[in-house]
A and B are shown apart, each in its own frame.
Chain A
Amino acid sequence: AQSVTQLGSHVSVSEGALVLLRCNYSSSVPPYLFWYVQYPNQGLQLLLKYTSAATLVKGINGFEAEFKKSETSFHLTKPSAHMSDAAEYFCAVSAPGGNQGGKLIFGQGTELSVKP
């Protein structure tokens, strides 16, 4: 069975500072991993995904994440935070193949605040 843990329900950074949002996963098979972003009163938008190709994945808006199998982690980073990055971020895991209908298991979410 798959599971996802996001460390820290709230993260606050200053504008221009490094953003680091942590995600650890558990999966019995090689996983697909995703980061989604949700802006206030909107649906979820895909930031980036890992699907067993390069371990360093680049996404939209300057975000990237690195898949580390030994640490079962998929942390999200951005070198320099912008005010517009304030949102809630969700990490998710899916087991490819099988008869699971492509189900995703989501973490609890991390709300990112950016201070001027």
Chain B
Amino acid sequence: NAGVTQTPKFQVLKTGQSMTLQCAQDMNHNSMYWYRQDPGMGLRLIYYSASEGTTDKGEVPNGYNVSRLNKREFSLRLESAAPSQTSVYFCASSDKVKTSEQYFGPGTRLTVT
């Protein structure tokens, strides 16, 4: 049981480049989330998907787009990367019907130069 997987693990981009972070879960969870983690700021929600076919903005959505491709997969796209998007990105999933407990992937460390 792999849980939540993320690719890539590391990425370096130049300012203005685009990329997509991939996330997949095999727990049949309805809800999926993208967070960014920056020192001293905890985790901040970028976007979430309460169920297949729906997406909503979180606390810090500017500069990002998401796609809930199917129940398993939830991708995060940076259309034009900026140095301020240098961060560690985490994907998570949960079965919100129960306790909102979220399961996290291992993260993607992104550097934008």
A106 at interface (Cβ–Cβ under 8 A)?
Answer: yes
Interface residues of A, count at CB 8 A: 25
Which A77-116 residues have a C-beta within 8 angstroms of B?
90, 94, 96, 99-104, 106-109
Flag the segment in B11-19, B41-49, B78-86 that touches A: B41-49
Q: How far does the alpha carbon of A44 sit from the alpha carbon of B4 in the complex, in Å? A: 11
Interchain CB contact under 8 A, A46 and B105: no
Interface residues of B, count at CB 8 A: 29
B25 to chain A, nearest CB (A): 12
Interchain CB contact under 8 A, B40 and A9: yes
Interchain CB contact under 8 A, A103 and B99: no
With contacts A42-B106, A43-B90, A103-B48 taken as known, whether A96 is within 8 angstroms of B100 at the C-beta atoms is yes
8 A–B contacts, CB within 8 A, in A order: A44-B43, A49-B99, A101-B48, A101-B50, A102-B102, A104-B45, A107-B42, A108-B41
The 4 closest A-B pairs by CB, nearest first: A102-B96, A101-B50, A102-B100, A43-B104
> Which B residues are within 8 Å of any A CB, using their own CB?
4, 31, 33, 35, 40-45, 48-51, 56, 58, 90, 92, 94, 96, 99-107
